[in-house]
Amino acid sequence: MNPFPTLPPRVAQEVLAQLFSALPPPPDDGPNAREDRDAVAVATIAAFRPADVMEAMLAVQVVLCDAFSLDCLREANRHRADIKMVLKCRAQAAALMRRMHRDLRALQARQAARRARTTVPVARPEPLRASGNVVHLPTHRSARTAVPVRRQAGGGATVVSLFGASKEE
């Protein structure tokens, strides 16, 4: 699975190589422990759908911070008898979790900005408004236009065109 379909293959390969070399060792020594750990890391990065190198690097940082915070918590459990070590490991895990959340917010903000740049806003039609003898036509907000109308006795109105013609409504 390639979590970076928008990146050049060599760049994606290098980013994954950096990720795999930086991940902490798996918690167990099973025959497929490293492959399973790597597969989870790649699937997590793919879930973020990074579109460029910066988004890919932020996704890698999120995954690494999460992996190392869990590693610190495992170490805290392993050294239960040494309260100083437990406190140090838990403090490090908490710092890594805060960093992970900061990186995740940065990634989400970058992706939101990218989506905002590529999304075309949909214009909502404005309703016709009438006030007195003027019908306000929906136009661009900076160029509102009022069209004069002549009210008729039967309740109808004649729009007086700006170009000399009239239209019955």
pLDDT digits (tens, 9 = 90+) for 26-51: 988 888 999 999 999 999 999 999 99
Q: Please give the Cα distance from 110 to 48 (Å, whole number).
A: 12
Contact 107, 53 (CB under 8 A): no
**Full-prediction pTM beyond 0.75?**
no
Mean pLDDT calculated for residue range 158-168: 52
Stated as kind and residue range, the H or E segment containing 100 is helix 83-118
| Average pLDDT over the chain, rounded to an integer | 82
Spatial CA neighbour of 6 closest among 48, 63, 37, 66: 48
Rg (CA), the chain: 31
